[in-house]
Amino acid sequence: DIAQVTPTVDSSHRAIILRALKERRNLEIEYHSLIRDRITTRAITPLELGEDRGVEVLLAYCNSAKGFRTFRLDNVKKAELLDSSEVISNSKKDSEELFRAKCRVDARLRTTFERFRLETDLATAATLSSRKGITVEVTSFSQDWLVRNFMSTLANAEITEPAELAKAVGVKAQATLELYKNPHFSS
């Protein structure tokens, strides 16, 4: 049997978001970031509701991040209308906000491309799957997101540049290994 799971969205949060969109007002939200596994408070200018891979999302300009972000509605823990309807301006260019990395993908090409949301067509995927060591560039608004995604590739992708990102992944991997040495986790 196949089980299907649908994230639960608080209907009161959706109603407040819809009102903010209709009245062109800003919001303050408490948001659970899956990337950092933290709940943060953010002032945002909501732009539109949408869907990403079957999950309801809010496209907005985030004052905290000083950039456009996509927020999963099921991760919004609190939503309040703000008095301000002034659009929060973007002082940086989008290209300045992105973290870039080059990596060589040795195996599991399809899942690695999906993980980093790299676009490819079926013909290209077939060509890529017949070769080893494909070099690609990945981008993200968050270095933490890149570190977590490289950790989850199960060593099928190797960061070729920047060296600082490769080092950050190494530090995170070492910290994870150290957890296994903790007497509370050993049997």
Report the percentage of the chain scoring pLDDT > 90: 16
Residue 6: per-residue pLDDT = 67
The residue-averaged pLDDT of 150-159 equals 81
Tell me the angle at which helices 163-179 and 143-151 cross, rounded to the nearest 10 degrees. 60
Enter the pTM of the model.
0.52
d(CA 101, CA 137): 6
Q: Which of 44-58, 125-139, 166-180 has the lowest mean pLDDT?
A: 125-139
- Which of 153, 67, 147, 83 lies closest to 114, judged by CA? 153
At 74-83, the pLDDT tens digits run 999 999 998 8
Mean pLDDT of the chain: 80
Residue 94: per-residue pLDDT = 45
Residue 120: per-residue pLDDT = 62
Q: How far is CA 55 from the centre of its chain?
A: 13
The residue-averaged pLDDT of 170-183 equals 84
d(CA 160, CA 25): 44
* Dihedral sign from CA coordinates of 52, 54, 55, 59: positive
The residue-averaged pLDDT of 82-105 equals 67
